[in-house]
Structure 1
Amino acid sequence: MAVAPLSQKEIEDRLAELPGWSLDGGRLTRSYRLGSHFAATALVVHIARIQDELDHHSDLTLGYHSVSLAVQTHSAGGAVTEKDFELARRVEDIAPGHGTH
């Protein structure tokens, strides 16, 4: 099933509902700080599980006390789509449980 790119207005409207997320280089991005490397690693594993459930994967970067995501929809020519926002919302739902700040 093809996924349609979102307009700039649609992206801005959806970003207003996701504090901490932004559009950078045509991709949705977000970084999280955590209390330890172990906590950051656990968040990465949880995000990877969500990505597999959605069959939609971000560039996911593990730092010492941080996790960063960058996502766009390759099947839509690298545009931002509703699939990207669905992933972002799911990550936002689980991030506080890992002690993000």
Structure 2
Amino acid sequence: MKPELLNEAAVQQALIALPGWQVEGRELTKEFQFASYLAGIEFVRQVARLAEEMNHHPDLLVRWRKVSVRLTTHSAGGLTKLDVELAGKIAAL
């Protein structure tokens, strides 16, 4: 059974608890900045561990001292509770 898509009101409500996150199309996105390249890589390692635990994997783009995170539930065609939950866990790192 695929996860249920969130409606616009639920997405907007979720964003209140996720400072800095925004919706771009069907994705929840945020760019994180770090003091060094290796700090960004460590962040990616921690995100990867969370993703594996949830079996829900974000798209990650690593640049010099920046990491972009993009979340969506491909099987549902947009944002679901899984995306909001993982965004919250990533924000807590």
Same fold flag (TM > 0.5): yes
Report the aligned-residue RMSD.
0.7
After superposition, residues 28-43 of structure 1 pair within 5 angstroms as 28-43=28-43
Give the partner amino acid of 2:32.
Answer: Y
- Counterparts of 2:90 and 2:57 in 1: how far apart (Å)? 12
> What SS class does the counterpart of residue 23 from structure 1 fall into?
strand
> What SS class does the counterpart of residue 52 from structure 1 fall into?
helix
Task: Map Cα deviations across residues 11-60 of structure 1 (whole Å, 9 max, x no partner).
Answer: 00000110000000210000011000010000001101100000000111
User: How far 1:2 moved relative to its partner?
Assistant: 2.4
Partner of 1:69 in structure 2? Answer: 69
- Counterparts of 2:32 and 2:90 in 1: how far apart (Å)? 11
After superposition, residues 14-29 of structure 1 pair within 5 angstroms as 14-29=14-29
Stretches of structure 2 lacking an aligned partner (at least 5 in a row): none
> What SS class does the counterpart of residue 67 from structure 1 fall into?
strand
Stretches of structure 1 lacking an aligned partner (at least 5 in a row): 95-101
Partner of 1:92 in structure 2? Answer: 91
TM-score norm. by structure 2 comes to 0.96
Q: Matched residues, percent identical?
A: 34
Moved over 3 A (4+): none
Give the partner amino acid of 2:47.
Answer: I
- Counterparts of 2:59 and 2:37 in 1: how far apart (Å)? 18
